[in-house]
Amino acid sequence: MPFEDLGFAQVDHHRSIRRGFPEVVFGQGKTPEQIASICERIVSQSGKVIVTRASSEAYESVLEKTPNAHYDELARVITAEQEGQNEEKLPGMLVACAGTSDLPVALEACITGEMMGCEVTRMFDVGVAGIHRLFDKLDVLTGAKVIVAVAGMEGALPSVIGGLVDAPIIAVPTSIGYGTSFNGLTALLAMLNSCSPGIGVVNIDNGFGAGYLAANILSSNKS
């Protein structure tokens, strides 16, 4: 199986064959120079790359070797694609978040889905403290084929959405909240104990994991 030894990293060029998408780089803990070198090799072999948990310093280093890279500062995500990679987008993915404070995680999910070939509808700040905002978009919700629901605090949003739609829901707890939110543990446990069927839960703040799974669900059902 093809991989490339950079000394500090074993770049998995076989990932796109096995999983349908190139290796995604977790930027936290890596130096800007390491991230730049890894990105250059992945783009040269696979045509596109995503870096999560990336700093602006890492982005500056990536630009030196991959000039067409882009950076979303709020999501902390670097992306790059070779020209000619713009395939037809699969419709049906929706990302909803409870509050504006959840945006970094929600945007990570959106960008991941878009890079994996999905058309992503964004629905932000529709939490249960003002549930009329969610009901106002009920037609959009019910039209989705897969939903990523992002929430901190008590983590109620996925359960509410689960009672309204027939699409699979990927719940993402965030570390947003006061003391007894325990950095997202309260939201995580609430989502795991949801009474609404059809909900899967990813790790705290893991917008990438949710977006990746949602894209896989869409692509597996495109026929």
The whole-angstrom separation of Cα 23 and Cα 202 is 19
Q: Give residue 73's pLDDT.
A: 96
Find tokens 């692509």 and name the residue.
219
pLDDT along the chain (223 residues), means of 10: 79 81 92 94 90 96 93 96 79 96 98 95 95 94 97 96 96 96 96 95 97 93 66
SS3 for 135?
helix
The whole-angstrom separation of Cα 73 and Cα 193 is 33
Q: Give residue 86's pLDDT.
A: 65
Question: Around 204, how many Cα atoms within 13 Å sit in the side-chain half-sphere?
Answer: 18
Structural domain boundaries in the chain: 3-81, 90-220
Bridge partners, 70 (sequence order): 79
CATH class of 90-220: alpha beta
Q: Give residue 6's pLDDT.
A: 84
Q: Give residue 15's pLDDT.
A: 86
